[in-house]
Amino acid sequence: MNFFIKLSKIDRRFIYLFIALVVVLPLIFKPKFPVVVSKPVQDVYDYIEKLPEGSNVLISIDYDAASMPEQQPFLEALLRQLFKNKLKPILIVQWQLGAPLGTMGLEKIAKEMGAVYGVDYINLGYRPGYVAQMVGIGKEIRDYFKVDYRNIPLDSFPMMKNVHNYNDIALLVGLEAGSTYLAWIEYAGGRFKQKIALALNAVSAPDAYYFYQSGQIVGLVGGMKGAAEYEVLVDKPDLAVAGMASQSYSHLVIILFIVLGNIAYFIEKGMKNKEGGK
């Protein structure tokens, strides 16, 4: 009894320390941890696998540094798949602070896969006013992106010659940290019937499952777990897979603390009731 009462009054810093340990130790000792691929993630992968060679895939960077551990591993895994299948990523940015992250990921994987800028991929950078932009791309992408992120005219790039609007884009992949994905679904999906796949931060992922159920998105990659699944699918385990053991052990510790905390609460409540009865 006393143990539980003491536990309910434990200094929160011990809990932080405990969580830090269960995150650090698995990263160092690397226990084998199976990553089972879920259907929403498999659906994104399969959809891309079926795209014909040369198809354009619009990637929207709608996250910033605060979401980097969740989104960057997926971006890199996705780009590996796209370049391997000779698909052409077109990168755009809706979150200003995400621009360097998108560029960093794109340049890293393009170099690794031997892709040529302007021929195999392009980076159009950031433009303000995402709703107007999403609607505008339905008519002509050049109305919003006349130049790429280095101010070079779009028409000077071979891969952009025949890209004008959503009709020329096989899939839109949104990497989302906030609610920008709602506008993609609303305008690009609802109005222009653009096929959309989403990679969401784990915080936002539950809110997007009903779009998956309704068929408004082809698939859903949720948080670092989703990214780990994608790394497994592209057969290139990286940061997300490395973090899965830490993730699972941390969850177990949190569950344990929730259970112990509740037991302590009910014991304390019972004791108070008894004292009150006396």
Q: Which residues bind other proteins (CB under 8 A)?
A: 13, 16, 19-20, 23-24, 27-28, 66-70, 96-97, 99, 125-128, 131-132, 135, 147, 151, 183, 185-187, 189-191, 201-203, 205-207, 210, 213-216, 222-225, 239, 242-243, 246-247, 250-251, 254
Q: How far is the CB of 244 from other proteins (least distance, A)?
A: 9
Work out how close the CB of 139 gets to other proteins at its nearest, in angstroms, rounded to a whole number. 14
Which residue, 215 or 276, has its beta carbon nearer to other proteins?
Answer: 215
CB of 57: closest distance to other proteins in angstroms?
21
User: Of 45 and 212, which has the nearer Cβ to other proteins?
Assistant: 212
**Shortest Cβ distance from residue 248 to other proteins (Å)?**
10
Residue with tokens 């004008």: 164
Q: Kindly state the tokens that stand for 202.
A: 């784990």
In this complex, which beta carbon is closest to other proteins, that of residue 81 or of residue 250? 250
CB of residue 256 to other proteins, shortest distance in Å: 13
Q: Which is nearer to other proteins, 72 or 81 (CB)?
A: 72
DSSP H helices, the chain, are: 2-8, 12-29, 39-49, 68-84, 99-113, 130-137, 180-183, 205-213, 223-233, 239-277
Question: Minimum distance between the CB of residue 97 and other proteins, rounded to whole angstroms?
Answer: 7
At its nearest, how many Å lie between other proteins and the CB of residue 19? 7
Pick the closer one to other proteins by CB: 10 or 68. Answer: 68
Strand partners, 56: 88
CB nearer to other proteins: pick between 69 and 261:
69
Q: Give whichever of 115 and 124 is closer to other proteins, judged by the CB atom.
A: 124
For residue 116, what are its two tokens? 């040529």
Check if the beta carbon of residue 171 is closer than 8 Å to that of residue 197.
yes
Rounded distance between C-alpha atoms, residue 276 and residue 270, angstroms: 10
Q: Which two tokens stand for residue 73?
A: 């591993």
Instruction: Give the integer Cα–Cα distance in Å for 5 and 21.
Output: 24
- Taken as a whole, the chain contains a residue count of 278
CA distances from residue 243 to 47, 177, 190, 206 in whole angstroms, order as listed: 26, 19, 36, 21
Report yes or no: 238 and 108 within 8 Å, Cβ to Cβ: no
- 55 in Cβ contact with 82 (< 8 Å): no
